[in-house]
Amino acid sequence: MTARVKASGQPTARPGLGARLAEATTGRQALGRLLHNRMALLGLIIIVVYVVLAAFPSILTQHDPNVQNLARTLEPPSAEYRLGTDEFGRDVLSRVLHGARLSFTIAGLAVILGGLSGFAIGLLAGYFGGAVDTVLMRLMDVLLAMPGILLAIAVIAALGAGIGNVIIAIGIYNIPQFARLTRSTVLGVKTQDFVLASRSIGSSAPEILVRHIIPNAWGAPFVFAMLRFSTAILTASGLSFLGLGVSPPTPEWGAMLAASRGYMRLAPHLVLAYGLAISTLVLGFNALGEGLRDVFDPRTAR
Amino acid sequence: MARLLEVRDLTTCFHTPEGVVHAVNGVSFDLAEGETLGIVGESGSGKTVSMLSLLRLIPEPPGRIVRGQALFQGKDLLKLDREAIQKMRGSQVGFVFQDPMTSLNPLMRIGEQLSEPMLKHLRLTPRQARNRSLELLKLVGIPGAAHRLDDYPHQFSGGMRQRVMIAMALSCEPKILIADEPTTALDVTIQAQVVALVKDLRRRLGMAVIWITHDLGVLAGLAHRVVVMYAGSIVEQAPVRQLYKDPRHPYTLGLLGALPRVDGQHAERLANIAGRPPDLLKPIIHCPFAPRCRFAIARCWETNPALLPVSDAHQSACWVLGGTGEPFGETQVD
């Protein structure tokens, strides 16, 4: 690109929307623009810090999250227990970090499950239209008709509690959101001239989907996935808070928040630690998602 | 010249919430090997839809090819199964579209897009296809072709992109090249280059060309024969010289009158055709041009004229000017 500008010595014409998208997704410009966006940068830093600490909790604490020390319960933060201890004398910091691990796993797998299924459904509905569209999207409407958390509770009620089922529940309630977004994106892409041009050289539907539709349609659902990550973390915590998610000894943020509620006056640092852990990570994902949207959306580009 | 394509009674309509749009109404024409056929008409006259219908490229639904046949080397394109028609597209019939800015996938390198039809129809290996893509880029006159294969479409100008589209349409050496207003989105100088390029390639590769346009001026030096379409029907067809010298349909007269001329023979103000094209939602019993026609007689409002022979190769669908009567010269237009 730069080489060509230098060679011709002339500024290039202002490229169209698709071209600018291509530029943003191919070049290093996308990363550059992302790093120039303060919100996105903040989000990225928060997430990176969380990921590193969740992967290597020993950086901050040597305590096992599940070892109880009943002689030292509900202690405020100290040099040994940097965030204090909980009602069973376990290290709160260690539990927060191991909780992050769990939250990343649940939210990650749930968003991947819901995102990929929703993307596939939206792709088929949008591209083929007609009866395929009607049947698939009415199914999605049924799922959308129920509030998300209620749908997740219903799935848990049917499947039983447990990490795997929490992932499935959150994944399912993400499907229609992704399906709708993908469908609308695909509807826009499939009427583009290059799709007709590809049909005119004899491409079949699967070839067009793989070579033309998917590469031009995954951007928006991808950004959306970042935003859904935070919702998934919240929902997972919410389910555990209600006692429907992960069962007690496992360090899960929502479950721990629920348990520490009873000691709010005696040991406020517990609620604060778990609550802040959840909200900071959610803030991080939201900030990154917003930033990504700005980077990918040519209308907000300079 | 042997007959390559024979289209009979092609009729296409679109089912919209407002009703059925009769976009193409019984279009029939022939195309000989190596011939260039021009199709003119204003926007919405059915030029593009009839060409897309030939290869069944119209979106179905809402579109539907109601009846007709399109015999290509003895096979009816409209009756082929999906796989067979996909084999025809690109390999036997190449398409070039109006807007080169949107006809290329912005996320695919030029070389990849050019290779696509050859990988499919000629079963070349990726390396062979790449070599041939390079040849094709040279053939259509893209400077520094070797360095441009890995460029993205946004790095090309409009004229260069249209050359790439032409290269792509020609990659499998089709028998017919259908060019749908390929120069409309380009500057006049680039237009002339593209026209010259297609003329040159036609001579070298010996293919037939169908050139869709709304500009009769472009066709004068390019086409052998011209078909004039109005409201989804052919209203006149003739060899190009005869059409200019002796137009036999008031709509053709109107189009010729609306052409700007450099020699200043016409008044400074270009003539226009009063009124607007008919609403294709309603079936038309009378001559579709009658409401805008200054020659219209009572008969025009009663029945729609079929194509009547003027001479051997010249037909016109007009009760007044058609038929083998007195020639209606240009002098009488003004």
> Rounded to a whole number, what is the distance in Å from the CA of B54 to chain A's nearest CA?
11
Contacts of B119 in chain A (CB under 8 A): none
Q: Do A216 and B107 touch (CB under 8 A)?
A: yes
Q: What is the token pair recorded at B186?
A: 């380009």
Contacts 24+ apart (CB under 8 A), A125-129: A125/A179, A125/A183, A125/A186, A126/A182, A126/A183, A126/A184, A126/A185, A126/A186, A126/A187, A126/A190, A127/A186, A127/A190, A127/A205, A127/A208, A127/A209, A127/A213, A128/A205
| Residue B325: per-residue pLDDT | 53
Beta bridge partners of B226: B38, B238
ipTM, two decimals, is: 0.82
pLDDT attached to residue A1: 37
B295–A contact, CB cutoff 8 A: no
* Of residues B91, B103, B155, nearest to A194 (C-beta): B103
Q: Which residue of B has its CA nearest to A199?
A: B57
Confidence at residue A12, expressed as pLDDT on a 0 to 100 scale: 39
Distance CA A125, CA A116 (A): 14
pLDDT score at A27: 52
Q: Residue B57 and residue A199: Cβ atoms within 8 Å?
A: yes
Q: How far apart are CA B97 and CA A193, in angstroms?
A: 8
Query: What is the reported pLDDT for A184?
Result: 93
What pLDDT does residue A140 have? 93
Contact by Cβ (8 Å): A179, A138: no
The string of DSSP letters for chain A reads -HHHHHHH-SPPP---HHHHHHHHHHSTHHHHHHHH-HHHHHHHHHHHHHHHHHH-GGGT--S-TT---TTSTTPPP-SSSTT-B-TTS-BHHHHHHHHHHHHHHHHHHHHHHHHHHHHHHHHHHHHH-HHHHHHHHHHHHHHHHS-HHHHHHHHHHHH-SSHHHHHHHHHHHHHHHHHHHHHHHHHHHHTSHHHHHHHHTT--HHHHIIIIIHHHHSHHHHHHHHHHHHHHHHHHHHHHHTTSSS-TTS--HHHHHHHHGGGTTT-HHHHHHHHHHHHHHHHHHHHHHHHHHHHH-TTT--
Answer yes or no: do A202 and B86 touch at CB < 8 A.
yes
* Amino acid B264: pLDDT: 59
Q: Are A10 and A291 in contact (CB under 8 A)?
A: no
Q: Select the residue from B55, B102, B136 to test the A interface by mutation, using most A Cβ atoms within 10 A.
A: B102
Residue A58 tokens, joined = 């020993």
Q: State whether CATH 3.40.50.300 applies to domain B3-92+174-275+284-332.
A: yes
Q: Among A201, A208, A214, pick the best mutation site for testing chain B contact (most B Cβ within 10 A).
A: A201
Interchain pair A18, B102: CB under 8 A: yes
Q: How far is A2 from chain B (nearest CA, A)?
A: 11
pLDDT tens digit at each of 334 positions of chain B: 578 889 999 999 888 888 888 888 888 988 988 899 999 988 888 888 999 998 888 887 788 888 888 888 888 888 888 888 888 898 899 998 888 888 888 888 988 898 988 998 888 888 999 998 998 888 888 888 888 888 888 888 888 888 898 888 888 888 899 988 888 777 777 788 888 888 888 888 888 999 998 888 888 888 899 999 988 888 889 898 888 888 888 888 888 877 776 665 555 666 777 777 777 787 777 888 888 888 878 888 888 888 888 888 888 888 877 766 554 444 343 3
Residue B323 has what pLDDT? 66
| pTM of this structure | 0.79
Which of A6, A194, A214 would best serve as a mutation to test chain B binding (most B beta carbons within 10 A)?
Answer: A194
Amino acid A125: pLDDT:
94
Q: Determine the distance in angstroms separating the CA of A129 from the nearest CA of chain B, rounded to an integer.
A: 9
- Could you say which residues of chain A have pLDDT below 70? 1-30, 296-302
Residues of chain B numbered 80-99 and touching chain A (CB < 8 Å): 86-91, 94-95, 97, 99
pLDDT tens profile A155-183: 888 988 888 888 999 999 899 999 999 99
